[in-house]
Structure 1
């Protein structure tokens, strides 16, 4: 059997999620993101394409690094207005049966006790189709608007997140025993209190003494996504992530090196090489002929906002790109924001990027690889990245919404299915089973979630 490619639809609850300026494209529907029908239609579309999940990115602040002002981001709709990432999921789940949902939520700005309840609730409501994309948040505007004087230093955010994960693992995996809910009508006992345990967590960053508020959901712990690219981020992923999103790899050699490193780190963390599914981001531009695909690509590029993208890239990297000559090369620098986005342009092993080139590349799908061609050519590229580059699947990033998804599902998915590289039916109903195999509903025993201490009396 050929290697099976996995797919997620990558978006965000905003006007032009990851391609500033594309809201002006005549076929773009991003302005409807406040309409619930937009989301239910999107979920049905991606399920028709047999995607694993709707991957919902998120931030909690405005991009205000560029020219030390939010004006460019606001003017060009650079992820603002930005709506909540969780609230549409129940509606999407109600009109679908198999596709999963991977919302981004910050481990820096959401208390672990609250997050654990929110995701357990969603896992119940979706019947086990929820993932959590773990982020530590890179915008200073998030920090100051959520009550901090300044942004927490990059490495400390990851140290804090590491303890955060232990707290939510204790709540999800160890607080409630299997069978705690007895619903015994005869004796009038709904839940056996002897099978519900306080976690008694007291650490450097968090104190959470009590029990989880929610009985075990189908998956208990949601599928764990993460996108760290720094040394701290990759170490965190090796320990915690079940699926890793990246936009770093720009060719097969870089992808092979990245996947090899992540899998080796996972093994050193006591896990198996295939315990982490690796999803490079791609922006597919598909035409029935090469000429049509190239024309679509040129048209999409014509709508990219240079200033809007410069504002987004400045926010991603924490460096004000307005201060640079567009023709100078991007240089590496210390930053408290996203190390990965800066390294992509400042430390590439394949080319040197000018500021102008970096901005233009970043403006169509946050710098992800563009795959332009006929359905067969796009399928060839994906199969090469999967089989030679050792990717497990791809986060399909929209240029125009939902045209990118529609074209890919109509034109490329049938080619992959015909070649035996992509499912024709879902394997199961829960997200973890669709990613890892039938009957693998719960997180594996070798994962950190199963190893956290302090609750030795709990039998789960």
Structure 2
């Protein structure tokens, strides 16, 4: 081992941030695996599916359950506007509203957080602010908001009166304005001690400590007070995934957790981490207050051969069209017009859905690829972390050292079997190595307290741009509004 490598490995080990990744549908890294006899994702319409997921994940002491969401069909493949292939394979539909099961999951757990995707085009920010507040109240401060600026063209047809989504750069400008309105509603409308519940005087809320939010922006207008009281965390943990130029800027300014790709494009992920940490520093933030996560799908066995056998078994259920449907939607490129081995890669459609994700996929296949390679690449992704707990932990430890990764979104190939393997086989090995805690640092704490491993750290840190919106109990309305004017955010 070289001296440089020794120095790298001698750094204090990170306590990893580990999430269980899921969706409100038949989600798996292996499209079509719902046919596997051990897979129970088709029961996602039953509360018992969600409560089992939550209890298993908390038994493993995972940071959170992250629920992704895309409120649309994947309808580019064999399209346009053709949901048929995705329906037949079971990709992204039928799908539940992922916010509904959170209350049930919270009722059977105590410490695990809940990261949930909400788009900035699916509803008015006033409505979303209430939804976020409700969920943070009912979970006692265990909510995280994954902010997305929806990218699939069908979202425009479904939600925007048949119109088109904004151009990529404008979507992030709209998303920043949307976020600022939610900052104002959750942090600047009610003083933190406005809810007094004074039985002797019969006063529930001190109305002098509640103020209207007046916003007249490029994309949104609002004049009214928040209808919810201050929430346990002040503001949900902010999560973001975006590797385009605008996405990186938005994330560096606002996010506390950032998703930066997957195990099959780690070099790009590592470069994104470096770049975003520097951008965050430019915004005056502590760059290491941001936790960078990559997605991975461990397939584990008590022996190496058992893990290999599982991978081969799972892979045998993969539907080749699944990878085509998913890539077509993320890129805007209808792969059906190409032959199975016909090279392509230079076409990036004008409706390019996820620019960063598409480029990462093409870069990982040397900028030209084929339908066959897209399918094989999806299978290889699930083979990256196949082995015993020790073997997979070795790979994880190497990735963390080489690419400055802070944690992982763990997908399951077969539910609940894959999650149970993560909890029973992988987590103990990571704990033994000092890479993961044995218990939550703040039992019964908020998402943010456990994210930063610090009690009484529920609110956004002082170097975060959202902190300035907070109306504290020590500020009169006049003083607070003068402060907002000085900051240019009234």
* Corresponding position of 2:284: 270
Deviation at 1:287, TM superposition (A): 1.8
Alignment partner for residue 19 of structure 1, among 30, 54, 60? 30
Alignment partner for residue 440 of structure 1, among 451, 457, 462? 457
* Corresponding position of 1:377: 391
Contact 1:330 1:345 in 2 (8 A): no
Query: Structure 1 stretch 243-252 or stretch 210-219: which is displaced more?
Result: 243-252
* Corresponding position of 2:139: 126
In structure 1, C-alpha distance between the alignment counterparts of 2:113 and 2:186, rounded to whole Å:
19
In structure 2, C-alpha distance between the alignment counterparts of 1:201 and 1:169, rounded to whole Å:
12
- Alignment RMSD, CA only? 2.1
Closer, same or farther: CA 59–27 of 1 in aligned 2, 3 Å: same
* Corresponding position of 2:125: 112
* Corresponding position of 2:360: 344
Larger radius of gyration: 2
In structure 1, C-alpha distance between the alignment counterparts of 2:283 and 2:83, rounded to whole Å:
41
In structure 2, C-alpha distance between the alignment counterparts of 1:189 and 1:239, rounded to whole Å:
39
Deviation at 1:99, TM superposition (A): 0.4
The CA deviation string for residues 91-141 of structure 1, in whole angstroms up to 9 with x for no partner, is 000000000111111112221101111011111110000001111112112
The CA deviation string for residues 429-456 of structure 1, in whole angstroms up to 9 with x for no partner, is 1100111121210011221212459987
Alignment partner for residue 331 of structure 1, among 312, 323, 346? 346
Closer, same or farther: CA 161–212 of 1 in aligned 2, 3 Å: same
The CA deviation string for residues 44-90 of structure 1, in whole angstroms up to 9 with x for no partner, is 00000001111000111111100112111011111111111100000
In structure 2, C-alpha distance between the alignment counterparts of 1:214 and 1:433, rounded to whole Å:
22
Alignment partner for residue 74 of structure 2, among 48, 63, 67? 63
In structure 1, C-alpha distance between the alignment counterparts of 2:209 and 2:372, rounded to whole Å:
60
Contact 1:16 1:22 in 2 (8 A): no
SS in 2 for 1:151: coil
* Corresponding position of 2:61: 50
In structure 2, C-alpha distance between the alignment counterparts of 1:156 and 1:437, rounded to whole Å:
36
Moved >4 Å (runs of 4+): 349-352, 452-456
Residues 1:92 and 2:108 are matched in the alignment: no
* Corresponding position of 1:152: 166
Give the TM-score normalised by structure 1.
0.95
Alignment partner for residue 182 of structure 1, among 170, 189, 196? 196
Contact 2:26 2:41 in 1 (8 A): yes
* Corresponding position of 2:480: 458
Gaps of 5+ in 1: none
SS in 2 for 1:59: coil
Closer, same or farther: CA 296–331 of 1 in aligned 2, 3 Å: farther
* Corresponding position of 1:355: 371
Residues 1:318 and 2:332 are matched in the alignment: yes
Closer, same or farther: CA 202–251 of 1 in aligned 2, 3 Å: closer
SS in 2 for 1:66: coil
> For 1:226-265, what aligned pairs fall within 5 Å after superposition?
226-248=240-262, 250=264, 253-265=267-279
Gaps of 5+ in 2: 1-11, 472-476, 484-490
Deviation at 1:359, TM superposition (A): 2.9
SS in 1 for 2:78: helix
Contact 1:55 1:101 in 2 (8 A): yes
Deviation at 1:369, TM superposition (A): 7.8
Alignment partner for residue 36 of structure 1, among 43, 47, 59? 47
Deviation at 1:352, TM superposition (A): 5.4
In structure 2, C-alpha distance between the alignment counterparts of 1:310 and 1:74, rounded to whole Å:
14
Deviation at 1:254, TM superposition (A): 3.5
Contact 1:317 1:339 in 2 (8 A): yes
Query: Structure 1 stretch 104-113 or stretch 337-346: which is displaced more?
Result: 337-346
In structure 2, C-alpha distance between the alignment counterparts of 1:198 and 1:430, rounded to whole Å:
28
Contact 1:309 1:363 in 2 (8 A): no
Alignment partner for residue 238 of structure 2, among 219, 224, 229? 224
SS in 2 for 1:263: helix
Contact 1:181 1:192 in 2 (8 A): yes
The CA deviation string for residues 358-397 of structure 1, in whole angstroms up to 9 with x for no partner, is 2333368xx6783112110111111122233211110001
Deviation at 1:247, TM superposition (A): 2.0
Closer, same or farther: CA 26–330 of 1 in aligned 2, 3 Å: farther
Contact 1:432 1:442 in 2 (8 A): yes
Give the TM-score normalised by structure 2.
0.89
SS in 2 for 1:279: strand
